Structure 1
Amino acid sequence: MNQKDKFLAQRIYFILSGLFICSLVVSNLIFQKFFYWYPFGKSEFLGAKFFEISVGVLPYPITFLITDLISEIYGKNKANQVVTSGIFASIFSLGIVYVANHVPAIEGSPVDDVLFTKVFGQTALAVLASMLAYLAAQYIDIQVYHFWKKVTSGKMLWVRNNFSTITSQAVDTFTVLLLLCFFEILPWNVFGKLFISGFAFKLFIALLDTPFLYLFVFIFRKRFNLKLNDEISID
């Protein structure tokens, strides 16, 4: 690879990393709003409607698509690096929210202390729960992805994409809800419903993002003249 292509590959990696970190931080800040989306009508399974979920899950499919793409093109180590960067970004954003929550609002502030605390007051515990779940899920995603890549000799991209995402999303959904209920941010009686609905939503999105992964991998391989199992080194 010539220097020009290497520089381009570095820039793309930094852009993907930025999108990943932004998606992660935003999801940690907006999680307290729940919404409904009924693409299959008001169908239910064990009392869980498809779908009634937190808006915090909306950016998550993007993060797993990005880590799968980075894993495929840049390798396992680069994928782990961006995950670790996301953890530090979440901790930093948590610190900013903590300070903002403790400084007094002026009289006439559009957002007063009560409203700000209501929205962000539980962010510390929620972000902690989210980070622990996310950390486990993302590293599992990368490990499972490369396990199936090795098993399939780099073929059948859809297998490693979906199997890694399904496994990691199950871990993420279960762990974050478990911690949120444990810290009494959510009542235990909604655990089962939110798990089924949240996990089903993530599975649905995982299936939808597979064609996009194929497209992006195809573009990368064509642009950088990569053969099967080739990875770009940007160090």
Structure 2
Amino acid sequence: MIYMDIREKTYVSLCAIFSVLVTTGNLIYQKFVYLPLLSFYTFELSVGAIIYPFTFMVADIIAEFYGVEKAKFCVRLSVIMNIMVAFIVIIATRLEATVWSKVSNPEFAHIFGSFNVAFISSIIASYAAQSLDVILYMRIKKLSRGKFLLLRSNLSTAISLLIDTTLVISLLAIFDVLPKEQALILIVNSYMYKLFFTLCSNPLFYFLVKGAKYIGINPARFS
């Protein structure tokens, strides 16, 4: 019987959570909503973008305790999972619906018809941004000698989120998945929300890092 210690179990769990969040975000990305989180401002963004900042938190936790290479592996794993999901969706879209199916061919195609373009755009942006995030996170950690936990998380995430948001929405607009005239406002709204979420989630990130240390998971070496 192969035994997994708490460190290995936590890594596998974090990779699973990361992949689920990325895949789910890609599946629901095409619905755009109003999100009135603030009394003076209403965010206008994709529902996929609502959960997406969680992926950067998870990636930073993986980088903190397991290093760049294992964090990058997790990012690549999510890409493979998304490719598998996209392949399944393509097959499902091409299959003929029964006469009694509650979802007809046109309805299913309307929901997932642009999924391939959205998927490709999202996965390109996600892979580039997440890879940059873990590299920046560990670089800042090394320069600060392991100090300023929240600073390295916020700074690496803020830069990476800007690249991700700009890239994915620009690609969706170029391929006419989104109206081009809405691209700029969606970039601004999505980035503002993600940055707002990142700052608000600092206590949760700090608690999770301290909790991991408490149960005996040591941070990755940065020297």
Establish whether TM, by shorter chain, passes 0.5.
yes
- Which amino acid letter does the alignment assign opposite residue 213 of structure 1? F
Quick check: 1:13 aligned with 2:16?
A: no
Match of 2:23 among 19, 22, 25: 25
Match of 1:102 among 86, 94, 97: 94
3-state SS of 2:196 partner: helix
- Which amino acid letter does the alignment assign opposite residue 216 of structure 1? L
Aligned residues: 220
2:185 maps to: 193
Q: Distance in 2 between matches of 1:69 and 1:40?
A: 28
Q: Distance in 2 between matches of 1:117 and 1:190?
A: 23
- Larger mean CA deviation between 127-136 and 34-43 belongs to 34-43
Quick check: 1:40 aligned with 2:38?
A: yes
Quick check: 1:136 aligned with 2:128?
A: yes
| Percent identity over paired residues | 32
- Which amino acid letter does the alignment assign opposite residue 7 of structure 1? D
Q: Distance in 2 between matches of 1:184 and 1:223?
A: 49
1:145-180 CA distances to partner (integer Å, 9 max, x unpaired)? Answer: 111111211001011100011001000000001100
Residue correspondence of structure 1 range 94-173 to structure 2 within 5 A: 94-173=86-165
Q: Distance in 1 between matches of 2:30 and 2:148?
A: 38
* Structure 2 length-normalised TM: 0.94
Runs (4 or more) in structure 1 with deviation over 3 Å come to none
1:75 maps to: 67
Q: Distance in 1 between matches of 2:217 and 2:80?
A: 34
Q: Distance in 1 between matches of 2:214 and 2:93?
A: 49
Gaps of 5+ in 2: none
2:176 maps to: 184
Quick check: 1:174 aligned with 2:166?
A: yes
Q: Distance in 2 between matches of 1:121 and 1:114?
A: 9
Match of 1:89 among 81, 89, 113: 81
* Structure 1 length-normalised TM: 0.90
Q: Distance in 2 between matches of 1:39 and 1:185?
A: 26
Note the C-alpha offset of 1:40.
2.2
| 2:7/2:217 contact within 8 Å kept | no
Residue correspondence of structure 1 range 188-227 to structure 2 within 5 A: 188-224=180-216, 226=218
User: Pairwise CA RMSD of aligned residues?
Assistant: 1.6
1:21-41 CA distances to partner (integer Å, 9 max, x unpaired)? Answer: 111111111111111112223
Note the C-alpha offset of 1:224.
1.0
3-state SS of 2:201 partner: helix
